[in-house]
């Protein structure tokens, strides 16, 4: 088992660093349905591009559809 002192010190450091972030920086955790990580956002964009390519027969998505 790990000694309690290094773990407590690491815990304090973690809390200090995370509390120093600007308020509202991680608003994704407060809004239901908002993607929490970039991979979730990329998936949403990829789905749009996929359907756009299927509907138009183009290899690349129309740039206006992705913005």
Quick one: how many helices (H) and strands (E) in the chain?
2, 0
Q: What is the token pair recorded at 66?
A: 């992705």
Of 4 and 56, more confident: 56
Question: What does the pLDDT look like over 12-42, one tens digit per residue?
Answer: 998 899 888 888 777 777 778 777 777 777 8
Of 59 and 2, more confident: 59
Residue corresponding to tokens 């991979």: 39
Q: Beta-strand (E) ranges in the chain?
A: none
CA distance 54 to 18: 43
- The pLDDT assigned to 33 comes to 76
Whole-model pTM: value is 0.37
């Amino acid at each position: 088992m790990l000694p309690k002192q290094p773990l407590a010190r690491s815990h304090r450091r973690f809390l200090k660093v995370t509390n120093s972030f600007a308020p509202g920086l991680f608003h994704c955790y407060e809004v239901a349905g908002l993607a929490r990580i970039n991979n979730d956002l990329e998936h949403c964009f990829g789905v749009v591009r996929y359907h756009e390519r299927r509907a138009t027969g183009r290899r690349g998505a129309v740039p206006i559809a992705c913005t």
